[in-house]
Amino acid sequence: MISERVQIARLFHRFSFGPKPGEFSRALKNGLAAASAELLTVPPNDEGLKSIANPTLTDLGPFPAVNSPNRKVFDDAMRRQRHDLTLWWLDRMVLADHGLTERMTWFWHGHWATSIGKVEYSFPMYLQNQTLRKYALGNFADQSRNMMLDGALQYWLDNGNNTVSAPNENLAREFMELFTLGVDQYSEQDVKLVARALTGYTVARSSGTVTFNPKKHDSSTLNILGKTSSFTAEQVSNHLVAQSQCARFIAQRIWFRFISDTAPLTYDNPLISAFADRDISALIKSAGTGAGISNPENSLVKSPVEWFVAVCRALKVTPSKVSKPDQVINFLDKLGQIPFVPPNVGGWPSGEPWLTTAAAQYRLQVAQYLLTQGDLRALSSAPSGDRYFMIGDLLGVPTWSVRTARALRNVQGDPTRLFLLAVSSPEYIVSI
Amino acid sequence: MDTLSRRRFLQLSGAAIVGASAPVLSISQIVQAAQSRPLPIGTPIVVIITLYGGNDGLNTVIPYQDSTYLQARPDISYAPSDVLPLDKDLALNGSMAGMKNLWDQKKLAIIRGVGYPQSDRSHFTSMAIWQSGSPTNQLSSGWIGRWIDTQPRDPMLAISLGSVLPPLMAGTIRSGSALPLGGIVVPTGALALDCMRLSAPAASDTKLLATAATSLRDLFDLSSNVTPVLKLPAPPATDLPTSNGGSAGGSSDLQQQLDLVAKLIAVGAPTRVWSVSLGGFDTHANEKGAQSVLLGNVSDSISRFLSQMRSTNRGADVTVMAYSEFGRRVHGNASQGTDHGTSGSVFLAGDKIAGGFYGDQPSLTSLVDGDLAVTSDFRDIYATVLESLLKSPVDQVLGSWKGRTNFVRKI
């Protein structure tokens, strides 16, 4: 078992994007039970999000020819929409008072890992993001069915041209292997059959509109994982999500990202039964209150976006309002992780791959820039002798090692340096 | 198209766990080792190129005269006029002029129909099989890793470029080292002192905290003799035409990796196995253009690299091997792409290689479950690399595996 302080810090950094100034001290005062109830339950309203307007994204239609006079206007609009979409989501992560919904949307984005690198259009990526947010803590069967017919995902995995005469198996395989069941839980024959059930759908890439044409759909009776029926895409999704293996697989994915990416989920872990009804909220509550969260060995590394958003929250920096918003995306690129651009359909890596020397260097650069944009009054208004004690509570860091404590005490006369070192320290990069 | 790459595989295979025990090297450490104990001239060096995503073998080594080929994939097949014929039946993809040149010099071996029994069509599982070297037992170690186990302890012995170690480099006792890419700018002045304090080892550090501290500390590990090496141009590719235009348009990530390997081999790094990679071969849609760009990158990068090596005194020592986790279906799909299939070709190139074809070309008419037959087992190739290039016994790595492929030139 670990102290209440460590557990509360874990809740803030894993089930939200780190505390806003003052939140961690308040939670400590109220105790673990209250903190966990508060952090794991989404309130009906979020004042922090009220100042954010949805981005004005539109269907930009087909690409004009390269030499057409409209091409430059089109390219500029594509760039602007992508910029607006990315910063809009980063703003939401930073400004939300209650971080769980955005944190879960972020998790699901990594799960259904669709990249704007191939989709190119921002509008369908935005629609997908809204779907992920709508079902972030809802029922996984609803989420899967909606994702099965999501335009960006369908385009990303080539289902638009999956036809009876020449099936394209990409979506079928990944839907089973990566989204609902896990590898080796189905046969090659199942891949072929599911691909047939997913025929007849076309996707308009720029709008993300998916259209079903019954004439092009393979409506033959298929036997998929023990059920014989003529399946539509939605029915296939329901059937896969209803497999008992789905509960184990999704519980494993939650465990991997929220609790431990090294210890396996045990066979009888309560997370699996908590997901019996495919209720994501119940699964998250189980993860946030179960034995895993208090096991001292279960530390995790903050991914670049998680680290960046946590620093912004502590500094009250709104990503779209900094002096050079493009620089924000450039920084995230150097750190190796930009929202809407996962490296592939498997999503981003976890753990040690983020702890490179190059990343250490870029984190210093990014933090230095954010410090020029942020509000450090919480620290600077305090007597310098108190600042070392305050920085841990400001950032939600449970304990400093002797090494880090020495480095921080040495600079507490300078709040900017103190903050820079604290967010670059091993104890902040890792959720202990 | 690029829905699969190395990172996904590494993530799914839990390689991060394996990699946790892997030393992470800085270029300075390698350069220092190169200066204090250079690899003796004449020691064979193997460079392994992993092509992630499942390269379409039939559009790489193309049965360009076979009407079945043209009929099976009308949208994405190549006409005889667009390919680089190797003999009357087979041709290289038109983007692979560099490899064709190596073929003409008899320095390129093409092993045909390579795979393993009961092919698995999951990227994850099939790549795990190739990298572990075992189709039957789910080994957590890699074939090069087990070779490392048999060698004297040396963190420079086998190096993978990139921050994450691929499973092929993980042994049961020791593993290869990872060399992260990317330039490093070292903090100076007061910040440098701050960072050195902040990154000192602490007794209370868990493994992750220690790794985080090390990653920061390594920023200062760059000594003055490193910068000159990095600033050096890569060794010149003297025997290539100065403009080998054509395929890719700009340098590929693979070329950057191989340039760094070339520099480090040229200064004498005591490294016998290098691992680099290229992703993006999962061509379910619009394959033709995308794959030809990738193959052009592979071909240009390999021929450039070998040419660079010939301008150093290591030209005769270096062998390059390129493989992918599976080939693709014979028939194209409706999106001008191909789905996951079975066997494909493996390439070996260098002065030590006796150029030519090895293994039978799988028939396009006698398919196995609708897919190409496997005519060569990849373990034959591994065993030959171990025995004839690395001069090491095979049994500690592949057990009693008896098969060999005689692609190494007899001296």
Q: How far is A232 from chain B (nearest CA, A)?
A: 19
Cβ of B332 and A166 within 8 Å?
yes
Residue B82 DSSP one-character state: G
pLDDT tens column, A109-128: 999 999 998 899 999 999 99
Residue B313 DSSP one-character state: T
Q: Into how many domains does chain B fold?
A: 1
Q: Cβ distance B384 to B407 under 8 Å?
A: yes
Taking contacts as CB-CB distances below 8 angstroms, the residues of chain B near A357 are 24, 26, 180, 184, 215-216, 218-219
> What domain range includes position B305?
6-184+222-398
Q: How far is B347 from chain A (nearest CA, A)?
A: 26
Is residue B115 one of the residues assigned to a domain? Answer: yes
Q: How far is A351 from chain B (nearest CA, A)?
A: 7
> What domain range includes position A268?
244-294
- Please give the full DSSP string across B141-165, using - where no structure is assigned: S-HHHHHHHHSPP-TTSEEEESSS-
Is residue A287 one of the residues assigned to a domain? Answer: yes
Q: Cβ distance A341 to A115 under 8 Å?
A: yes
| Of A29, A39, A41, the residue nearest A4 (C-alpha) | A29
Is residue B173 classed as helix, strand or coil in its secondary structure? Answer: coil
Question: Cα separation of B342 and A171, whole Å?
Answer: 19
Cβ of A344 and B333 within 8 Å?
no
Q: In chain A, what percentage of residues exceed pLDDT 90?
A: 85
ipTM over 0.95: no
Closest CB to B11: pick one of A157, A349, A420. Answer: A349
Is residue A79 one of the residues assigned to a domain? Answer: no
Mean of the pLDDT values across residues A269-278? 97
Cβ of A348 and B125 within 8 Å?
no
pLDDT tens column, A325-377: 998 998 898 788 999 998 778 888 888 778 876 678 889 999 999 999 999 99
DSSP β-ladder status, B45-51 and B318-324? parallel
| Of B179, B145, B176, B148, the residue nearest B161 (C-alpha) | B179
pLDDT tens column, A127-175: 999 999 999 999 999 999 999 999 999 999 989 878 888 788 999 999 9
Question: Cα separation of B126 and B362, whole Å?
Answer: 19
Question: Cα separation of B312 and B302, whole Å?
Answer: 16
Question: Cα separation of A20 and B385, whole Å?
Answer: 57
In this predicted structure, the answer to whether residue B259 has a pLDDT above a threshold of 70 is yes
CA separation (Å) from A285 to A103, A166, A245, A288, A297?
14, 44, 20, 5, 20
Q: How far is B194 from chain A (nearest CA, A)?
A: 6
Burial A178-208 (b: 16+ CB within 10 A, else e): bbbbbbebbebebbbbbbbbbbbbbbbbbbb
**Confidence tier at B285 by pLDDT (50, 70, 90):** confident
pLDDT tens column, A375-427: 999 899 999 999 999 999 999 999 999 999 999 999 999 999 999 999 999 99
Is residue A70 one of the residues assigned to a domain? Answer: no
Cβ of B335 and A407 within 8 Å?
no
Cβ of A165 and B334 within 8 Å?
yes
pLDDT (0 to 100) of residue B230: 57
pLDDT (0 to 100) of residue B182: 58
Is residue A276 one of the residues assigned to a domain? Answer: yes
What CATH number did the domain enclosing B255 receive?
3.40.720.10
Interface residue of B208, B218, B325 to substitute, partner A, most A CBs within 10 Å:
B208
Burial B294-318 (b: 16+ CB within 10 A, else e): bbbbbbbbbbbbbbbbbbbebbebb
Is residue B189 one of the residues assigned to a domain? Answer: no
Cβ of B279 and A361 within 8 Å?
no
Q: Which residue of B has its CA nearest to A432?
A: B209
Least confident of A226-240, B82-96, B205-219, B263-277: B205-219
Question: Cα separation of A395 and A388, whole Å?
Answer: 12
pLDDT (0 to 100) of residue B243: 34
Question: Cα separation of A416 and B113, whole Å?
Answer: 62
pLDDT tens column, B41-93: 999 999 999 999 899 999 999 999 999 999 999 989 999 999 999 999 999 99
State phi, psi for A326 to the nearest 5 degrees.
-60, -30
Is residue B197 one of the residues assigned to a domain? Answer: no
Q: How far is A427 from chain B (nearest CA, A)?
A: 7
pLDDT tens column, B352-388: 999 999 999 999 999 998 899 999 999 999 999 999 9
The 3-state secondary structure of chain A reads CCCHHHHHHHHHHHHCCCCCCCHHHHHHHHCHHHHHHHHCCCCCCCHHHCCCCCCCCCCCCCCCCCCCCCHHHHHHHHHHHHHHHHHHHHHHHHHCCCCHHHHHHHHHHHHCCCCHHHHCCHHHHHHHHHHHHHCCCCEHHHHHHHHHCCHHHHHHCCHHHCCCCCCCCHHHHHHHHHHHCCCCCCCHHHHHHHHHHCCCEEEECCCCEEEECHHHCCCCCEEECCEEECCCHHHHHHHHHHCHHHHHHHHHHHHHHHCCCCCCCCCCCHHHHHCCCCEHHHHHHHHHHCHHHHCCCCCEECCHHHHHHHHHHHHCCCHHHCCCHHHHHHHHHHHCCCCCCCCCCCCCCCCHHHCCHHHHHHHHHHHHHHHHHCCCHHHHCCCHHHHHHHHHHHHCCCCCCHHHHHHHHHCCCCHHHHHHHHHHCHHHHEEC
DSSP β-ladder status, B273-278 and B45-51? parallel
Q: How far is B118 from chain A (nearest CA, A)?
A: 12
**Confidence tier at B229 by pLDDT (50, 70, 90):** low
Least confident of A63-77, B194-208, B285-299: A63-77
Cβ of B163 and A177 within 8 Å?
no
Indicate the residue type of B84.
Answer: L
Where is B230: in which H helix or E strand? helix B226-231
| Of B127, B207, B137, the residue nearest B167 (C-alpha) | B127
Q: Cβ distance B217 to A424 under 8 Å?
A: no
Taking contacts as CB-CB distances below 8 angstroms, the residues of chain B near A299 are 206, 208-209
State phi, psi for A104 to the nearest 5 degrees.
-70, -35
Structure token digits, residue B204: 């209370």
Beta-carbon pairs below 8 A across chains A and B: 205
pLDDT (0 to 100) of residue B18: 38
DSSP β-ladder status, B318-324 and B344-350? antiparallel
In this predicted structure, the answer to whether residue B249 has a pLDDT above a threshold of 60 is no
Is residue A350 one of the residues assigned to a domain? Answer: no
Cβ of B212 and A157 within 8 Å?
no
Mean of the pLDDT values across residues A291-314? 96
Is residue A253 one of the residues assigned to a domain? Answer: yes
Closest CB to A349: pick one of B7, B209, B339. Answer: B7
Indicate the residue type of B270.
Answer: P
State phi, psi for B230 to the nearest 5 degrees.
-70, -30
Cβ of B218 and A347 within 8 Å?
no
Cβ of B334 and A358 within 8 Å?
no
Is residue B214 one of the residues assigned to a domain? Answer: no
Cβ of B163 and A406 within 8 Å?
no
Beta carbons within 8 Å of B221's beta carbon, 6+ residues apart: B26, B28, B29
Residue B179 DSSP one-character state: E
Q: Does this model's pTM top 0.80?
A: no
Is residue B196 one of the residues assigned to a domain? Answer: no
Is residue B1 one of the residues assigned to a domain? Answer: no
Question: Cα separation of B270 and B159, whole Å?
Answer: 10
Q: How far is A3 from chain B (nearest CA, A)?
A: 16
Mean of the pLDDT values across residues B307-334? 93
Q: Pick the more confident residue, A10 or A1.
A: A10
Is residue B407 one of the residues assigned to a domain? Answer: no
pLDDT (0 to 100) of residue B232: 60
Interface residue of A13, A158, A175, A262 to substitute, partner B, most B CBs within 10 Å:
A158
| Of B107, B100, B7, the residue nearest B50 (C-alpha) | B7
pLDDT (0 to 100) of residue B122: 81
Q: Into how many domains does chain A fold?
A: 1
- Strand ranges for B351-411 from DSSP E: 356-358, 376-377
Cβ of A170 and B284 within 8 Å?
yes
Q: How far is A48 from chain B (nearest CA, A)?
A: 32
Taking contacts as CB-CB distances below 8 angstroms, the residues of chain B near A184 are 122, 125
Cβ of B26 and A357 within 8 Å?
yes
Is residue B353 one of the residues assigned to a domain? Answer: yes
Question: Cα separation of B320 and B355, whole Å?
Answer: 13
Cβ of A162 and B333 within 8 Å?
yes
Is residue A274 one of the residues assigned to a domain? Answer: yes
